[in-house]
Amino acid sequence: MQKDYILTVSCPDRTGIVHSVSGLLLELNGNILDSQQFGDEETRQFFLRVHFSLETAQELDSLKQKFAPLGEQFQMNWNLYSAQQKARVMIMVSKQGHCLNDLLFRAQHGSLPVDIVAIGSNHRDYEALAASYGIPFHYLPITPETKAEQEQQIIQLVSDLNVDLVVLARYMQILSNHLCQALQGRAINIHHSFLPSFKGARPYHQAHARGVKIIGATAHYVTADLDEGPIIEQDIQYVDHTMTADDLTQVGSDTESLVLSRAVKHHVEHRILLNGHKTVIFK
């Protein structure tokens, strides 16, 4: 029975990369279902994502063995994934549940190919919601004095549950450098990126008071530099003077939910490759 796989490659750009990869797949009776590539003229880096199928597990073993010397030849950073295997996701949330609710709905109905294995929060507001989906809820209260201990609990949960991705779905806590490093490359955050002047509580009310004309959201990878990790997805919505602060909040919440779900989908489908501090995303 055929099984689908995804191969991602990043390496210094040079001739012969695509020919070598496709030739190896042909040698092993691999069928390329989709292939996308990008060469960055500025960084001189090459990026490739290949979705392909193989007939047997033996062919997969042969591919892994034969790809290793190819990877060395082209100085590749490469990864091979099963297209059928769902990513194991842990969602962190505080008191705003719009992104959490959206992710739960999309996962349940199959539009988001993930297995949500845990919901963690520093509040109990969404314990009942988690129970309604049959997902374990972990209450993780935090104070300045217990921050290190609470973050260690998060790290332990990620390890114990074999979590592939942590999603900060309006989790209103600043992660320590230690936790950021522990989750490097596997934690995504959402924030109101097009309101850079309105930090802290009630940003949409601040924006309303200033008469903004666009609001939006950005999803990005979590790094120790607050809200400055590689950007994955962004969107905006136009607003006007007739809208109240509550209207802006609703529009902003909807935009945040959409942007975060797109970012998570890109990640779990292995469509994102890092290009320095930027991302290459094959859609």
* Residues acting as catalytic residues: 227
**CA-based nearest residue to 21, from 40, 38, 35:** 35
Q: Are 21 and 70 in contact (CB under 8 A)?
A: yes
Residue 35 one-letter amino acid: S
SS3 sequence, the chain?
A: CCEEEEEEEEEECCCCHHHHHHHHHHHCCCEEEEEEEEEECCCCEEEEEEEEEECCHHHHHHHHHHHHHHHHHCCCEEEEEECCCCEEEEEEECCCCHHHHHHHHHHHCCCCCEEEEEEEECCCCCHHHHHHCCCCEEECCCCCCCHHHHHHHHHHHHHHCCCCEEEECCCCCCCCHHHHHHCCCCEEEEECCCCCCCCCCCHHHHHHHHCCCEEEEEEEECCCCCCCCCEEEEEEEECCCCCCHHHHHHHHHHHHHHHHHHHHHHHHCCCEEEECCEEEECC
Count Cα neighbours of 81 within 13 Å in the Cβ-side half-sphere: 20
Q: Are strands 165-168 and 87-93 parallel, antiparallel or unpaired?
A: parallel
The Cβ of residue 179 has, within 10 Å, a number of other Cβ atoms equal to 23
